Amino acid sequence: MTPTGKLLLLSGLARRLLAAPSNHSLAAAGYSNSSSSNSSDVWSIGEGGVDDAGAASVSGRRGASSRRAGFAGYSAADVAAAAAASNTAGFRSLVVPGLTKEAAKPPLLRSRHPLTPRCDRMKPAHSSWPSVWPTARTFHPAAVPLPVRQGRPNNATENAGISPNKWGNTELIKVPNFLHLTPAHVAAHCAAIKHLCTPWPKALDEPGVIDKQLPLLVVTTDYLRSHHSIRDIRARRVDLSLCLDRLVKLDKRSLEKLLCLVSFSNFAKVDTQVVGSSRVRHLRMWSDRCPWRFQNYDYLIYALSALYSQSLRHESWESGKAWIDNQRYEFDGSSSQKKLAKLANEPATNAVTHYRNALIKLHRQPENGGTGETHDSLRQYGRAVEFLLGIGKGGGGGGGGPVKKLDASSAQQTGQTKRTTERQAAS
Amino acid sequence: LLSRSIANWLLRRRQLSPFGACVNRRGGASAALLTDESAPERHSLDRHVGLLYRPEEADWQAVTRHFCRPELVRLFDTLGQRALMVRRPALEIGERLAGHAGDGRPCLRFVLYGRRGSGKSLQMGHVAAACRRRGWLLVTVHNAHLWMRHSRELHESAHRPGMFDTAGYGCIWLRHFYAMNQEILPGLRVTKELSWNAKESTPAGSSWKEVIDYALARPRYSCAAVQFLIDEIKLGSVPMPTLVCFEVANCLWWHRSGIKNDAIRRTPLQGEEPPWRADITAKQLTLLDAFKQLLDSDWNNGAAVMSVSPQGALFDRLREWMPRKLLGDEGFAYLDPFVPVYVEPYGPAEMSNMLNWYTESGWLTSEAAATDAGRAELAFLSDGNAGELLRIAGEW
């Protein structure tokens, strides 16, 4: 008996085992032949070598005569192969379907918890986000190492009252993300194209230089929004701004014509800023009439060119311009000037000057050099009228009727001096 | 406690507040300062500014009553006494008129402007009463803006083709004019023959009273009568100077009105709802146009005092109260050259005096109104506006 056989005997496994010698010599000797010749016969559990005789019966029944029919469901070849595979000691091993532990096969279904997701395996020190997320792509919860949540539960029982996490969150997938445009990305992009750029001219940093060199200011706006569409209708608007002093060849008449043309348009205006004693005029235009931004820009450039060229042109019919067409109040040609002729007495020249100055100050807006209608300008106008008509407190004569001329002139002189000093102080 | 804190805060700000003087040094209200001078023409800038005066019965009934708001008239009836404040704008205008108007001199024009309730109409009333006592003829128009909101007996004009007559308002005005100038009118004679229609006419030399009686009997011709009388004034046939008082004068140049002309259909303005009928503006109303002629400067021996108010800016609800904005380019050019007169809010002395009088006369009944804090609060709430003070004091 082989040592294995002794062990089997001792362990009591001989009952169930049909110890077939595993060496091939036995098989080659015809054992399998004999078993194959009995392939039609089925070995039964109760028969064969499994009985109380144990090993003795095994050893005793080594002869062909003690051989019984083959195993149920297994051909002798399978058995032999399995035995050959498992039994290194030369014994046949009993394979009972359903009882014998089979060799580990690969599982048919995936398990519920696969490998650790990438986001949990990523280490900041070792990974570069631009290489993880190089381009714009739909949100992926396993790739984004952020514990983001999206959504609001309707009540305390839904999702335990907390916002759903990123796993399987369709809302996070639907919205646009900018994970492809982080500062790291931008830095990488800039680094990639830096060799194509030239440095910023230092001279442009000085104040006023950029307005001189680049007089045209174009303003466009981009809009971000969290919506299923990233389009925004407001992004088509283009604003253009230009200092009128930069337009050469614009003389007084052309400038007036330009201001007149601008006053008719609903997409352009002229802003006047009073800086000390000088006026700075800016032409501001805007366009959102075209669907695309570059179209609006082209339109504005065209409109600016047309405005400029037309204001330089002077047509023959422009000579028919009336007083009412003036851009700002002019005393000459006004009805007030005409009324001076209707006064009973001819007013003094300085009275007329005061009257004219007061009217100009009252009618012209601050950007045109006047003050507009204020208490001060009204009071000045009132004083000028009183002086003109001669009804002031101190003055006589002027526009009054049958008043003694001698007294009037002396009173008027004192009145004049008083008023001139007043007006000088006021202006 | 709250009034104490308000009082403290206001006392601290006394130096900065224009109403600081309302807080009386003695504490509480004191006697109102009245002047015995009941004749408006004798009020002077030196002595009477800021004082209250009691108008005489005749003046009140004939002139001043028409320039007051109904609330003020009711107040005087309730209290059984009347007191009006003498203020600077009226005295300045009065001074100019006394010195430079009348006696054949050209028409002077004054435009009173100020916020609503600041007292423009009462200043005009003071000037009108003073002129009436001097013997001037008064031509006063108080309701022009109401004439433009509602039409009474509107019909096409016979004496001015293409324009419209408002017969009802014409009659009312003639009656009012007669009541105001009862002493003067019998002496006035018409210098031209007035032909009402092809058949009827009033001969030259008839008195003004006859003309007015005729027009009151035949309301159809009331606006024509007004036009004839104004023509007489402009011709210079009136021996005494004429004062024209026109409240809310800016309605004469306003482009809208409340009266629609069904005969004219026009294209609708943007966003306008039907019916698209034309407004009958002041230019098309004979009555208003007649008074507008009096505001021109081409006649002698008279003066015109006007006020401009946002009440005349119909349907725009303007918050403007400056004359040029309310008159517009056309109105300003028509009235130019005129003297704008600002009716400013009450100063400290005026406010104090007014509160004293309200307390004395029994209009302010609450105890808080007699305290410093209460008076300061009244001054603050009304912001110096006379009309607002009248309204708010009614609640204290």
Query: Which of A375, A388, A393 minimises the CB distance to B337?
Result: A388
Q: Are residues B80 and B124 in the same domain?
A: no
CB pairs under 8 A between A and B: 64
For the record, the structure tokens of B306 come out as: 């006007």
Contacts of B103 in chain A (CB under 8 A): 401-402
The dihedrals phi and psi of A91, each to the nearest 5 degrees, come to -95, 150
Q: Which of these, B359, B382, B385, B388, lies nearest to B24 by C-alpha position?
A: B359
Hey, is the C-beta of B341 within 8 angstroms of any chain A C-beta?
Answer: yes
Q: Are residues B77 and B159 in the same domain?
A: no
B323 contacts A401? CB cut-off 8 A: no
Contacts of A385 in chain B (CB under 8 A): 337-339
Sorted by sequence, the CB contacts under 8 Å of residue A219 that are 6+ apart come out as A238, A239, A240, A241
Number of domains in chain B: 2
Q: Does B396 fall in a domain?
A: no
Q: Are residues B191 and B328 in the same domain?
A: yes
Q: Does B156 fall in a domain?
A: yes
Q: What is the C-alpha to C-alpha distance for residues B169 and B175, in angstroms, rounded to an integer? A: 10
Q: Does B28 fall in a domain?
A: no
Q: Which domain, by its residues, includes B365?
A: 40-86+347-389
Q: What is the C-alpha to C-alpha distance for residues B83 and B68, in angstroms, rounded to an integer? A: 12
B337 contacts A355? CB cut-off 8 A: yes
Q: Does B178 fall in a domain?
A: yes
Distance, CA of B187 to chain centre = 26
Q: Does B92 fall in a domain?
A: no
For the stretch B65-81, pLDDT in tens is 999 999 999 999 999 99
DSSP strands (E only) in chain B: 34-35, 52-53, 84-85, 108-113, 137-141, 154-156, 164-166, 194-195, 201-202, 242-246, 260-265, 277-279, 302-307, 339-342
Q: Which of A373, A388, A403 to mutate to test the interface with B (most CBs of B within 10 A)?
A: A373
Question: What's the confidence (pLDDT) of residue A190?
Answer: 95
Q: What is the C-alpha to C-alpha distance for residues B86 and B340, in angstroms, rounded to an integer? A: 19
Question: What's the confidence (pLDDT) of residue A391?
Answer: 85
B108 contacts A401? CB cut-off 8 A: no
The dihedrals phi and psi of B137, each to the nearest 5 degrees, come to -90, 135
Query: Which of B96, B108, B325 minimises the CB distance to A373?
Result: B325
pLDDT in tens, chain A (427 residues): 565 555 555 555 545 555 444 455 544 444 444 444 444 444 444 444 444 444 444 444 444 444 444 445 567 777 777 666 665 667 888 888 888 877 767 767 666 666 788 888 888 777 789 999 999 999 999 999 999 999 999 999 999 999 999 999 999 999 889 999 999 999 999 999 999 999 998 988 888 888 888 899 999 999 987 777 888 999 999 999 999 988 888 898 999 999 999 999 999 999 988 887 788 899 999 999 999 999 999 999 999 999 999 999 999 999 999 999 898 999 999 999 999 988 878 888 999 999 999 999 999 998 888 899 999 999 999 999 999 988 876 544 444 443 333 333 333 444 343 444 444 444 4
A397: closest chain B residue by CA: B100
The dihedrals phi and psi of A111, each to the nearest 5 degrees, come to -80, 160
Q: Are residues B79 and B140 in the same domain?
A: no
Q: Which residues pair with B260 in a beta bridge?
A: B279
pTM, entire model: 0.69
Q: Does B3 fall in a domain?
A: no
Q: Are residues B335 and B362 in the same domain?
A: no
Q: What is the C-alpha to C-alpha distance for residues B365 and B369, in angstroms, rounded to an integer? A: 7
Most confident among A18-22, A83-87, B267-271, B382-386 (mean pLDDT): B382-386
Q: Does B32 fall in a domain?
A: no
Q: Residues B103, A400: contact at Cβ < 8 Å?
A: no
Q: Are residues B203 and B310 in the same domain?
A: yes
Q: What is the C-alpha to C-alpha distance for residues B290 and B233, in angstroms, rounded to an integer? A: 11
Q: Are residues B157 and B273 in the same domain?
A: yes
Contacts of A399 in chain B (CB under 8 A): 106
A401 contacts B324? CB cut-off 8 A: no
Q: Does B147 fall in a domain?
A: yes
Query: Which of A359, A363, A391 minimises the CB distance to B96?
Result: A391
For the record, the structure tokens of A229 come out as: 């569409």
The dihedrals phi and psi of A217, each to the nearest 5 degrees, come to -110, 120
A335: closest chain B residue by CA: B333
Q: Are residues B304 and B384 in the same domain?
A: no
A324: closest chain B residue by CA: B329
Q: Are residues B76 and B129 in the same domain?
A: no
Q: Are residues B256 and B363 in the same domain?
A: no
User: Rounded to a whole number, what is the distance in Å from the CA of A403 to chain B's nearest CA?
Assistant: 9
Q: What is the ipTM of this complex?
A: 0.88
A382 contacts B339? CB cut-off 8 A: yes
Edge-to-edge strands of the sheet including B34-35? B34-35, B52-53, B84-85
Query: Which of B113, B333, B338 minimises the CB distance to A385?
Result: B338
Contacts of A388 in chain B (CB under 8 A): 337
For the stretch B165-197, pLDDT in tens is 999 999 999 999 999 999 999 899 999 999 998
Amino acid at B135: G
Q: What is the C-alpha to C-alpha distance for residues B250 and A65, in angstroms, rounded to an integer? A: 142
Q: Which of these, B370, B350, B368, B351, lies nearest to B360 by C-alpha position?
A: B370
Count Cβ atoms within 10 A of the Cβ of residue B230 and give its class: 0-12 exposed, 13-18 middle, 19 or more buried.
buried
User: Rounded to a whole number, what is the distance in Å from the CA of B211 to chain A's nearest CA?
Assistant: 32
Q: What is the C-alpha to C-alpha distance for residues B90 and B118, in angstroms, rounded to an integer? A: 13
Confidence category of residue B39, pLDDT binned at 50, 70, 90: confident
Hey, is the C-beta of B98 within 8 angstroms of any chain A C-beta?
Answer: no
Question: What's the confidence (pLDDT) of residue B5?
Answer: 66
Phi/psi class of residue B108: alpha, beta or left (left: φ > 0; alpha: ψ in -120 to 50)?
beta
Whether the upstream peptide bond of residue B337 has omega within 30° of 0, thus cis, is yes
